[in-house]
A and B are shown apart, each in its own frame.
Chain A
Amino acid sequence: MYVYDQVDRTIVAERVAQYRDQLRRFQAGTLSEDEFRPLRLQNGLYIQKHAPMLRVAIPYGLLSSTQLRKLATIARKYDRGYAHFTTRQNIQYNWPRLEDTGDILADLASVEMHAIQTSGNCVRNITSDEFAGIAPDEILDPRPMAEILRQWSTFHPEFAFLPRKFKIAVSAAAEDRAATAFHDIGLHLEKDDSGGIRVRVLVGGGMGRTPIVGVVIREDLPWEHTLTYVEAILRVYNRHGRRDNMYKARIKILVKALGPDEFARQVEEEWVHLKDGAGLLTREEYDRVAAYFVAPAYATLPSVDAAQESRLADDAPFRRWVGRAVRPHRVPGYRAVVLSLKPTGVPPGDVTADQMDRIADWAERFGFGELRVSHEQNVILPDVRLSDLHVLWQEARAHGLATANQGLLTDIICCPGGDFCSLANAKSIPIAEAVQRRFDDLDYLHDIGEINLNISGCMNSCGHHHAGHIGILGVDKDGAEWYQVSIGGADGSSAGRGRSAIGKVIGPSFAADAMPEVIARLIETYLALRTDGERFIDVVERTGIAPFKTRVYATPVASSQPAEEAADA
């Protein structure tokens, strides 16, 4: 993985010093709350319901075991012994003290980590494919370009006060595992006929109040122009994006208002001035960065392990876990293992300090000391030998990390919601738990098959509800918490057959205690309608939402909360 050189170290050290100075001035009263807010947000620090929340970047989802141990130490030393993985390859601490935040940043810097631009109206953490470098369907490794973009976007002097937040995702495989169509910029790296890298540029995707699937504005951009092209997009957006209404300030609104063709024309017009300038990437720099991502020293292993085969045959729980947790690897004899952070009763994406230490140990014993985090809020051990799977599974079981629900209904993407987040309209974690309790029968879960259930506590959509095959959105009506249900969303991954789509709302909202039954009715409808091999998302695609809607609203769903007024739909 990438290792900081003197330039990276200096920047992160100077950031810590800058932040400490800002915090000192805030505490001394020479920096007002309004003045400090944008500064601390660009350092990932929110003031939440109970305490500050600190969001730390995990660039393109890649972590070393050393870094994960440090994250565990920070959780123990400054927080309550746990942390939360987000849907954007970040990790959040929910209970740090404001006065400790400078020290936390210094601790992070000691392992080449930071919280730079994890919030605020700036370019956020660059995200990518959690299986980068190991996926059999990979066209090329997206991480060098993601790292180059990380550096380019870090403290870019012109783009620190954009109209709104700005998210960039990079994908370079046949399957889009980075939800690129839901980002302000999505980049697809491809190879041209002569082996050179070409970039497809999508803009204007996003969730939030106005969910939009991104559109392609450029095909076949030669790789060396990536930074200048992104700069051109950002300059057009910085100058012309709306600043009068925060709900209309994302680039997607500008792209929609101008039309993609006109937006693309303005970008090209700007880019003409930049394309062969100083920002043109050099082969030398690309190769320098790419050298950090060369494959580790894999052993030559048989592609089948006899002991593994017999355990699979004999041990049903192990077999079931392998069926969900284990993903293909490009190197024979190796597999990627997705550790589910979604056991029933634990907030999705939460991990304890002890678990972090264990996972770091496994990354070393069963791999090359490297880990990944996914936008599905799970952790991945990327390089496990087939012959180690059984012992890993046994140890993972002992630490609550062997739930076999990856990609299934209970592998819920869920934001912190009303339990923590001060922007929330409703709680989301208890909804996830209630659904997990209702669907606690693993056989039934496996029978239901691949499905994405995503929950957000408000329109900010941190839980990606728009892209869920089933999406749940917390809404506030006269001070009470309600939940709006949509179906048919898809994030571009193979779970939804590669489609990127926004879910459609099925009707009036429900009370919290009705949600397990509502989900159960959606699932029953699917099971009744499915033909061979059809997933939930396929049936929704084929039939539309009508049969689901009919079934869900056929009879009132029992709830202790007074029914929503019909006019409120």
Chain B
Amino acid sequence: MPEIILRDRVVADPWQVLRPEAGAAPELPAGPVLVPLATWLDQADALVGRGDAGVWIASHEDPATLRAWLDRLPLVAVDFPKFTDGRGYSIGHLLRTRYGYRGELRAIGDVLPDQLDYLRRVGFDAYAVRADKDIRDALRLLTTFSEPYQNSWEPPLPAFRRVARGQVTELPR
């Protein structure tokens, strides 16, 4: 079974990501499945009943369309088609801070170890690290910067509201 990082551990992952061909009617497999946003919006009532269906959002899609379902979704994933496509960070951040999603938020697609710290900070807590990368080595990059400047999902306060700034002994040059 493939592995992902869930919070701060590597775990086996049973979820299949359904990526139907364009135009093709998606066949829903048995077992935990992540369906595309369009499929979810189409069949949400049935899928919610399944209990083991989640949704993945493409980077150009609007997470606001999921608002009505967020408290009943066990898993929301955001797809990174390329690791340089940064839209997913804003999507994740909005899901957490604006739309109140509290379930598992997973990054899928082109997810590389050097993104994990940023992903974690905007609100992701699960990372389907690309299969060719060493997922255990990636764990140590989850927290690259221990005391960041800005507020995001994590930490919720900026450094200037969080820690006493200006603690240096030497005088200004």
Interface residues of A (CB under 8 A from B): 1, 3-7, 10-11, 14-15, 18, 22, 30-31, 35, 38-39, 64, 66, 121, 151-152, 154-163, 227, 235, 238-239, 243, 273, 277-279, 281-282, 284-285, 288, 292, 369
Contact = CB atoms under 8 A, between A and B. Distances in A.
A31 B148 CA distance: 25
A158 B85 contact: no
Contacts of A157: 89, 117-119, 121-122, 148, 150, 152
Contact of A3 (B87, B146, B156, B173): B173
Given A14-B145, A369-B173, 19 more contacts: A3-B172, A4-B168, A5-B167, A6-B147, A31-B114, A64-B173, A151-B149, A155-B148, A155-B150, A157-B118, A157-B121, A158-B86, A159-B89, A238-B86, A239-B90, A243-B85, A273-B98, A284-B160, A288-B165
Most buried by B among A151, A278, A282: A278
Interface string B122-153: 10000000000110000000001111111110
A546 B152 CA distance: 54
A157 B91 CA distance: 12
Contact of B149 (A1, A154, A277, A278): A154
Nearest to A370: B173
Contacts of A4: 168
Nearest to A238: B90
B165 to A, nearest CB: 5
Contact of B93 (A39, A64, A158): A158
Contacts of B159: 7, 151
Nearest to B152: A157
A38 B148 contact: no
B27 interface: no
Nearest to A241: B87
A549 to B, nearest CB: 43
B161 interface: yes
Contacts of B98: 273
Contact of A66 (B121, B148, B173): B173
A530 to B, nearest CB: 47
B55 interface: no
A288 B164 CA distance: 11
B1 interface: no
A158 B122 contact: yes
A226 to B, nearest CB: 13
Most buried by A among B112, B145, B150, B165: B150
A239 B87 CA distance: 5
Nearest to A162: B86
B149 A161 contact: no
A10 B165 contact: no
Given A39-B114, A157-B150, A5 B165 contact: yes
7 contacts: A5-B167, A10-B145, A155-B150, A157-B89, A158-B89, A238-B86, A369-B173
B158 interface: yes
B159 to A, nearest CB: 5
B24 interface: no
Contacts of A162: 86
B22 interface: no
Interface of B: 83-87, 89-91, 93, 98, 112, 114, 117-119, 121-122, 133-134, 144-152, 156-161, 163, 165-168, 170, 172-173
Given A11-B148, A161-B84, A239-B87, A22 B118 contact: no
B149 A152 contact: yes
A278 B161 contact: yes
A161 B145 CA distance: 17
B137 to A, nearest CB: 8
A160 B170 contact: no
A285 B146 contact: no
A155 B134 contact: no
A4 B118 CA distance: 23
Given A14-B145, A157-B118, A285 B160 contact: yes
A235 B62 CA distance: 13
Most buried by B among A3, A7, A162: A7
A161 B86 CA distance: 4
A341 B28 CA distance: 68
Given A161-B86, A238-B87, A278 B158 contact: yes
A6 B167 contact: yes
A152 B159 CA distance: 9
Contact of B173 (A1, A6, A38, A155): A1
B4 to A, nearest CB: 19
Nearest to B86: A161
Most buried by A among B83, B134, B166, B173: B173
B165 A7 contact: yes
B81 to A, nearest CB: 9
Shortest beta-carbon contacts, A-B, top 10? A161-B86, A157-B121, A285-B160, A157-B118, A278-B151, A158-B89, A151-B149, A3-B172, A5-B168, A238-B90
B152 A3 contact: no
Contacts of B158: 152, 227, 278-279
A403 B84 CA distance: 45
Given A238-B86, A282-B161, A11 B145 contact: yes
Contact of B83 (A7, A35, A66): A35
B121 A7 contact: no
B146 A10 contact: yes
A41 to B, nearest CB: 10
A277 B93 CA distance: 14
A279 B156 CA distance: 9
A147 to B, nearest CB: 11
A14 B149 contact: no
Contacts of B91: 239
B90 A14 contact: no
B147 A158 contact: no
Nearest to A21: B141
Most buried by A among B93, B149, B156: B149
Most buried by B among A18, A235, A243: A243
Contacts of B118: 155, 157-158, 160
A369 B144 CA distance: 34
A199 to B, nearest CB: 18
Contacts of B144: 14, 18
B166 to A, nearest CB: 5
Contacts of B149: 7, 11, 151-152, 154-156
B162 to A, nearest CB: 9
